Structure 1
Amino acid sequence: MTSIQPWYATPEAPPDIVALLRLGVRPTCLDGASVHGLWTPPHTGTHVYRPRRLTAGLELENTRALRVRRRGGQAVPSGKAQPLVLHGPELRAWPDLDPVPDVQLILEHAGRCLPVVKAAVLFESAMHREMLSRRDVDRIIASLPQCARRPLARVRGDAESGTETTVRWWFESRGVAVRSQVRFPDGRRRMDLLVGESWVIECDSREFHDDPRSYDEDRERDLHLTSWGYTVTRLSWEQVFRRWSQTERMLLAIYRRGEYRKRPRRGEGALVA
């Protein structure tokens, strides 16, 4: 056991977090969100914060550290060490003694640091996982600068993945009518996104494809929807977060054809409220 004031680190302590604590910082924003199990879009830099009383004599501008990444509660490789992205709180001391800040503080930092859509992914994940209530989220958003406050006011808690949030926000920012979690005609399952009357967007939430059963279930969903007269577009995690410029061009090409305005061709394709 080693001492990292004001903590003691056991041999089982996560080494990526211990390394940050030794620098006098704690993970926040995207890195802290990953520890809490929130959806986290890809990012560069390791996001950390420190109270003002610890800044004297700590030159961290050129310091690098591994990003904090979790999948299913387990640490996953995060590649090369990244420059620290320093968040500067107004506090003069740590607000608590937890090595990882609570979700509310993490989202406050994210709302001031990230592009609005990436911040929305974290907010909607916290709501979907019931870590924060709508009232909690509204209170955090109200504390943010107006440039973030106005768009983030439309976050919602029914998105089931970060890819779904990202794609829905893209459509909404263009004034396109899009609905989330619309029921299948059989009433047993839900579509991720429905654009207009008949264009279904299914968003793959998995960065790592290692579940053959899920792959088969996804294709079964697509076949059901197509049989009922819907047009189905399935987007992978990589298409949304790694190859978005190419994906965006193709989505626009499909949208401009206007086929989404047509109702499903067969009567049994009527939507279930």
Structure 2
Amino acid sequence: MQIPGIVHRSQLTQTLAERPELEPRLKRALDSGALRRVATWYVAEDAPPDVVAVLRQGMRPTCADGAALHGLFVPPLEGVHLFRPRVLVLPPETRGVRLDRIRRRSGSVQRIGGAQPIVLHGPQLRAWPGTDPVPDLPLVLEHAGRCLPTSSAAVLFESAVHLGRLTLAEAREIVARLPHDPRRSLSRIRADAESGTETAVRWWLESLGVTVRAQVPFPGGVRQRADLLVGRSWVIECDSRAHHDDPRSYAEDRARDLFLRSRGFYVTRLTWEQVFLQWSTTEALLRTILRRGEHRRAPKA
């Protein structure tokens, strides 16, 4: 995957060999600071600074940080996930380095928390062409499947399918290349999850052996769907971060909740923060609700 504003030295050398008339322009750009040398790369002024910081360390983003550059929803995770060919452990000069996690929202750089230590993906992983700063999406997901907790990897896989970057069949082909344990767990990925919060909550419920269905049509022929139906009568709606900024979505969601309550369903709405930042508290409360067993009863209209 190419990143705007970043070109590998070998690519530029090849371009100059084919078009030597560009060499004076290159020299002017370097002299003016419009173009800089960073390790084995040439970097323009508009290059993403978080990616440039990674390249300066002689590494390249992959796994969660590569997934963010591909536009996927990425849950909060510790560390900055990087790859360096032929290096199994961090060299001394990078062991204390902390970098910003690479995250995007609506195409713009998003800072989450403070700088993080490097999580090195060593040479046991399949590499990609040295002129690409970031691997293509299938390889990013393969790296993630080998590195991340299964539930976090599932969020990335299902985000890729939901966004149309991969088909479900293509995602399952990647899963089939993984080692036994993640391959078995990630065989449960689906195509109907519409948010990372939905994937995370459904994955947790399934791990408990709870009956849960995703994107269930509303009763009465209403052309809407519930995010998750737990058992027979408990609807869990999973809000994405975008809901915080959209008053219209807020109003529509409350209308949905009222309709479902009128049909006898119990409705719980979970925010992004509850699922990803306050999960220990949220999990304990959800377990309490499950123990009461009310979700097993038929809805009473």
TM-score calculated relative to the size of structure 1: 0.90
Question: Residue 125 of structure 2 contacts residue 143 of structure 2 at CA under 8 Å; is this kept in 1?
Answer: no
Confirm or deny that 1:168 pairs with 2:202. Answer: yes
Corresponding letter in the other structure for 2:229: L
Q: CA deviation at 1:208?
A: 7.4
Tell me the distance in 1 between the aligned counterparts of 2:88 and 2:149: 28
Question: Residue 233 of structure 2 contacts residue 297 of structure 2 at CA under 8 Å; is this kept in 1?
Answer: yes
- Structure-to-structure mapping, 1:11-22, within 5 angstroms: 11-22=45-56
Aligned residues: 266
**Secondary structure at 1:52's aligned position in 2?**
coil
Question: Residue 158 of structure 1 contacts residue 181 of structure 1 at CA under 8 Å; is this kept in 2?
Answer: yes
Match of 2:99 in 1: 65
Tell me the percent identity.
Answer: 60
- Structure-to-structure mapping, 1:183-262, within 5 angstroms: 183-185=217-219, 186-206=221-241, 209-262=244-297
Based on CA coordinates, which of the two structures has the bigger radius of gyration?
A: 2
Tell me the distance in 2 between the aligned counterparts of 1:253 and 1:91: 41
Match of 2:171 in 1: 137
Tell me the distance in 2 between the aligned counterparts of 1:69 and 1:207: 15
CA deviations on 1:201-249 (whole Å, 9 max, x unpaired) are 0001117722222211211111111112111000111111111111111
Tell me the distance in 2 between the aligned counterparts of 1:25 and 1:155: 30
Match of 2:23 in 1: none
Tell me the distance in 1 between the aligned counterparts of 2:64 and 2:125: 20
Corresponding letter in the other structure for 1:74: S
Question: Residue 50 of structure 1 contacts residue 94 of structure 1 at CA under 8 Å; is this kept in 2?
Answer: no
Aligned residue among 109, 134, 137 for 1:103 = 137
**Secondary structure at 1:9's aligned position in 2?**
strand
**Secondary structure at 2:245's aligned position in 1?**
coil
Question: Residue 16 of structure 1 contacts residue 68 of structure 1 at CA under 8 Å; is this kept in 2?
Answer: yes
Tell me the distance in 1 between the aligned counterparts of 2:100 and 2:137: 21
Corresponding letter in the other structure for 2:112: S
Change (3 A) 1:5 1:62: closer
Tell me the distance in 2 between the aligned counterparts of 1:232 and 1:53: 50
User: Structure 2, unaligned stretches of length 5 or more?
Assistant: 1-34
After superposition, the CA RMSD in angstroms is: 2.1
Aligned residue among 26, 36, 42 for 1:2 = 36
User: Structure 1, unaligned stretches of length 5 or more?
Assistant: 267-273
**Secondary structure at 1:188's aligned position in 2?**
coil
Higher mean alpha-carbon deviation, 85-94 vs 205-214, is at 85-94
Question: Residue 52 of structure 1 contacts residue 88 of structure 1 at CA under 8 Å; is this kept in 2?
Answer: yes
Higher mean alpha-carbon deviation, 223-232 vs 257-266, is at 257-266
Aligned residue among 157, 181, 189 for 2:191 = 157
Q: CA deviation at 1:128?
A: 1.2
Tell me the distance in 2 between the aligned counterparts of 1:216 and 1:152: 35
Corresponding letter in the other structure for 1:75: V
CA deviations on 1:143-166 (whole Å, 9 max, x unpaired) are 212111111011111101111111
Q: CA deviation at 1:167?
A: 0.6
Q: CA deviation at 1:91?
A: 6.8
Q: CA deviation at 1:108?
A: 1.1
Question: Residue 89 of structure 2 contacts residue 122 of structure 2 at CA under 8 Å; is this kept in 1?
Answer: no
Tell me the distance in 1 between the aligned counterparts of 2:126 and 2:253: 50
Tell me the distance in 1 between the aligned counterparts of 2:187 and 2:145: 11
